[in-house]
């Protein structure tokens, strides 16, 4: 646990008693704060009692008279589409609002670090797609290289729930736009931007607001080194803003599909090969084509970003290459579930938006595509014409409406996962892939994308 610094003897309010909220309560108490809490759920009083804190309705006038700060859970809106009443009240009454990410960055370093031979570092990863795989891959490489490391944030443990740093340790954080948007302190040593596509538009009032939330990781604290995916204009913009010139190696540019030139530090993948260049010369090359845990161009981009982050810490190319080969991938992200009679069954339930689904479809040559769910803003046009799709099998409560937007594709409306898997498996020929890549959120039928992916795996396992 990371005891929170700066609030000893002060009253701090915590909004939301989920996983991150409860970890925040414990960390604040460890730092000597007097903690009060509010949660909208009917079980709030029981949660507060179990945490040993006072429940106070933070939506009422005067609730923040004696409060030094309000710490809110990332999932609670603070601005768009409208602020939670407690956050609105805090802002009206002049109480600073922060989240657990801000508390982490202000509390992670301690006086004990003066005795360390190597100061601990923080690598923070953000972006629309691939940030979980990139974060997990960086963590895996560090472990394989013998570096002490912890993985936290939007993946693994909460940031305040990790152990206090060891000498030379590297903390890897996956940070969502919800987490970067509000944090009052963002000071990673290495910051990674994977890519950008439209997502969470209601929470950020559009594409520009979503990008602004991601950009804060680079603009607020100024990382010592930045690894930037430059396959979209936004990535090029961040790289340009941070760089003092073409040869400024504080910025490592990353691409999947484009050969990057110039005198800067570049890592890119083309035709399945990763290349690192510095000052116009190739430094290293890795064949990614046979790495089972990283299939497709989108995973090659993840590999490039993870490679660049680890190279910035001085880890050698051959050590990284060995670690890439032993990486097993993450559940629900291009996860090979089974192979039956020459047909592969792949679970990419995390492909919840159009861009991530398109990349998943492009990773395979002939796809029986299971898709559908709670459609996000922006439509499905960017997925089409989907040349690798042999047939689409649509699930979800609004399957018929979703199917109508897949113009030009052979489509069958299935409604539920069992029907989709059964029909896709019956139709599939040897050499084809039955791929779950929904291009939609799961909440119309499932509590989470993980539950949806688990159902897909169970249905595949039950095939006769």
Q: Is 131 among the annotated ligand-binding positions? A: yes
Q: Is 132 among the annotated ligand-binding positions? A: yes
Place of tokens 């972006």: 127
Rounded to whole angstroms, the Cα distance separating 217 from 179 reads 10
Rounded to whole angstroms, the Cα distance separating 438 from 434 reads 12
DSSP assignment letter at 446: -
Terminus-to-terminus CA distance in the chain, angstroms? 48
DSSP assignment letter at 339: E
Rounded to whole angstroms, the Cα distance separating 274 from 291 reads 12
Place of tokens 């000597």: 32
Rounded to whole angstroms, the Cα distance separating 249 from 269 reads 19
Q: Is 129 among the annotated ligand-binding positions? A: yes
Rounded to whole angstroms, the Cα distance separating 460 from 342 reads 14
Give which of 59, 50, 55 is closest to 93, Cα–Cα: 59
Total Cβ atoms within 10 A of residue 261: 11
Q: Is 130 among the annotated ligand-binding positions? A: yes
Q: Is 47 among the annotated ligand-binding positions? A: no
DSSP 40-78: SSTTHHHHHHHHT-EE--TTSTTTTTTEEEEEE-TTS-S
Q: Which residues are annotated as a binding site?
A: 127-133
Q: Which residues are annotated as a binding site for ATP?
A: 127-133
């Amino acid at each position: 646990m990371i005891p929170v610094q700066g609030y000893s003897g002060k009253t701090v309010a915590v909004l939301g008693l989920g996983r991150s909220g409860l970890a925040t309560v414990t960390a604040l108490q460890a730092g000597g704060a007097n903690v009060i809490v509010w949660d909208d759920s009917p079980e709030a009083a029981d949660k507060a009692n179990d945490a040993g804190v006072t429940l106070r309705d933070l939506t009422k006038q005067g609730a923040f008279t004696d409060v030094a700060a309000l710490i809110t859970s990332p999932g609670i809106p603070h601005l768009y589409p409208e602020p939670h009443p407690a956050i609105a009240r805090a802002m009206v009454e002049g109480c600073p609002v922060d989240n657990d990410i801000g508390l982490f960055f202000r509390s992670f370093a301690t006086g004990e670090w003066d005795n360390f031979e190597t100061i601990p570092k923080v690598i923070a990863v953000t972006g629309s797609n691939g940030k979980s795989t990139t974060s997990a891959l960086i963590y895996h490489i560090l472990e394989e290289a013998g570096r002490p490391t912890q993985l936290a944030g939007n993946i693994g443990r909460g940031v305040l729930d990790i152990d206090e740093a060891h000498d030379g340790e590297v903390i890897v954080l996956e940070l969502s736009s919800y987490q970067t948007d509000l944090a009052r302190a963002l000071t990673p040593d290495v910051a990674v931007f994977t890519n950008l596509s439209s997502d969470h538009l209601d929470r950020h009032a559009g594409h520009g607001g979503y990008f602004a939330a991601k950009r804060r990781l680079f603009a607020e604290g100024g990382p010592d080194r930045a690894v930037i995916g430059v396959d979209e204009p936004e990535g090029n913009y961040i790289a340009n803003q941070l760089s003092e010139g073409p040869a400024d190696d504080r910025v490592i540019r990353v691409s999947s599909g484009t050969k990057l030139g110039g005198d800067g530090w570049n890592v890119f993948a083309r035709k399945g090969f990763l290349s690192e260049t510095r000052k116009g010369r190739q430094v290293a090359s890795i064949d990614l084509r046979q790495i089972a845990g990283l299939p497709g161009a989108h995973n090659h981009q993840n590999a490039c970003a993870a490679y660049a982050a680890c190279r910035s810490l001085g880890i050698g190319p051959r050590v990284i290459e060995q670690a890439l080969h032993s990486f097993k991938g993450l559940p629900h992200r291009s996860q090979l579930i089974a192979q039956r009679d020459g047909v592969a069954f792949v679970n990419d339930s995390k492909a919840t938006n159009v861009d991530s689904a398109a990349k998943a479809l492009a990773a395979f040559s002939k796809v029986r595509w299971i898709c559908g769910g709670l459609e996000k803003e922006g439509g499905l046009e960017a997925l089409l014409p989907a040349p690798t799709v042999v047939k689409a099998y649509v699930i979800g409560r609004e399957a018929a409406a979703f199917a109508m937007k897949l113009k030009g594709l052979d489509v069958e409306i299935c409604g539920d996962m069992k029907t989709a898997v059964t029909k896709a498996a019956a139709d599939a020929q040897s050499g084809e892939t039955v791929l779950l890549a929904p291009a939609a959120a799961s909440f119309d039928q499932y509590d989470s994308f993980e539950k949806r992916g688990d159902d897909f795996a169970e249905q595949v396992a039950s095939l006769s």
